[in-house]
Structure 1
Amino acid sequence: MTTPNPLQFLDSRLSVPSKQLTEPGPDDATLTRMLRAAVRVPDHGKLVPFRLLRIQGLARHALGEALVARTLQRDPQAPAAAIEKERMRFSHAPLIIAVIARLTPDHKVPEQEQLLSAGCVCFALLQSAQALGFGAQWLTGWAAYDEAIGRTLGLRENEKVVGFIHIGTPKLDVPERERPQVAALLSDWQPPSVVSTSNHA
């Protein structure tokens, strides 16, 4: 009997490009289960410095049209190919979860730690999607940082998009790519040598 590898989903984690994701996506019950796992992240101060925004169905296309309008506002001469890319940006995967950081300024928990907690949700959601047989990709792009698009998404002043997690069924098997070698990344810290400044006769 083969002993299951408890780290198999970490060992095999990979991103499936959003253009290669299609129906079906997770149903409501499956998504709830995925999200329940994804929000079990380190959260110093128990602030829950994140919230989740589901984008699916016709809402995906509406968001694409908002990106088109904003692109033309920023660059009225934008080429047709760029316009079409924005129109379709959220139309491939059947489901997108926007992970939004809710930052509490001037708190004893630094904002960076709050932001990192929200980032952990993104990664955990990738893991839970893959564990249940779906493909997923964590994307940002200019839309994640644009104030006008943020207002379209209903973001408040203290909120920012940490990632758009595209989820669906992979159309193909994604090949493995080269991964960092741990030996090249790991080093041992040693305390600095104590240098005596005393003068000895």
Structure 2
Amino acid sequence: MPAPRPEVLDFLATRRSRPVKFLAEPAPERAALRPLLERALRVPDHGKLEPWRLLVLEKPALARLAQLAETRGAERGEDPDRLAKLRAQFADPPLCVAVIASPKPSEKIPEVEQTLSAGAVCLTLVNAALAAGWGASWLTGWTAYDRPFLEQGLGLAPGEWVAGFVYIGTERAAPPERPRPDPDAVITWVSE
């Protein structure tokens, strides 16, 4: 018989990411953030390849990235309203952890499994931050894949990209609950 952890199940039943616009100062300091980062790294990692790494982006780095996103967005011909929102995505939050997908050559572990592991780091970090009482959100967007942004802004190597920008801060207000999937519409039981 398994040993149930009802408090964990209750957390998972009620967890809710917090939109970036709802996050404010303070963010966790390094001593408080470190255990959350360590927990985020406890994900499935077939072959122990560690196909990810973390960049902790503090306020000065976020201000620089906000400017670069605006510049790159204009070069790409992005809509000005979308550019303002994107700039705010980097300029406004107090802290961001960029989860970098960094696939490793492997004959046994396909790149898709390594990508899924990087995604698991993102979700685990969001859940760890929420469980610790912080607000957190996982976003991507074109900046996660744009080579000039990745190389100039984050110093990423060829083949690396952002699996997620995980924003963490103090929740200013609770967002409205959103509709959840209907389990009967997405679950199929296969008995034979």
The answer, yes or no, to whether TM exceeds 0.5 is yes
The residue that corresponds to 1:21 in the other structure is 23
Per-residue deviation, 1:186: 2.2
TM-aligned CA distance change 1:111 to 1:92, over 3 Å: same
The residue that corresponds to 2:97 in the other structure is 97
Q: 1:36 aligns with which of 33, 38, 42?
A: 38
The residue that corresponds to 2:184 in the other structure is 183
Q: Which amino acid aligns with 1:155?
A: L
TM-aligned CA distance change 1:175 to 1:82, over 3 Å: closer
Higher share in helix: 2
Q: Is the 8 A contact 1:9 1:130 kept in 2?
A: no
Per-residue deviation, 1:15: 1.3
1:127-166 matches, within 5 Å, as 127-152=127-152, 153-166=154-167
Per-residue deviation, 1:106: 4.7
In structure 1, C-alpha distance between the alignment counterparts of 2:79 and 2:12, rounded to whole Å = 40
Q: Which amino acid aligns with 1:67?
A: A
* Structure with greater Cα Rg: 1
TM-aligned CA distance change 1:39 to 1:73, over 3 Å: same
Per-residue deviation, 1:80: 4.8
1:44-99 deviation line (CA, Å, top 9, x unaligned):
00001100011111111110111111122222xx6654443333221222000000
In structure 1, C-alpha distance between the alignment counterparts of 2:184 and 2:62, rounded to whole Å = 43
Moved more, 136-145 or 103-112: 103-112
Q: Is the 8 A contact 2:22 2:175 kept in 1?
A: no
Unaligned ranges ≥5, structure 1: 192-201
The residue that corresponds to 1:199 in the other structure is none
TM-score using structure 1 length: 0.86
Aligned length: 187
Per-residue deviation, 1:111: 0.3
Moved more, 165-174 or 85-94: 85-94
Per-residue deviation, 1:32: 0.4
TM-score using structure 2 length: 0.90
Q: Which amino acid aligns with 1:66?
A: L
Moved more, 82-91 or 118-127: 82-91
TM-aligned CA distance change 1:82 to 1:34, over 3 Å: same
Unaligned ranges ≥5, structure 2: none
Per-residue deviation, 1:190: 4.3
In structure 2, C-alpha distance between the alignment counterparts of 1:187 and 1:57, rounded to whole Å = 45
In structure 1, C-alpha distance between the alignment counterparts of 2:10 and 2:145, rounded to whole Å = 34
1:163-197 deviation line (CA, Å, top 9, x unaligned):
00011111101222221232332222244xxxxxx
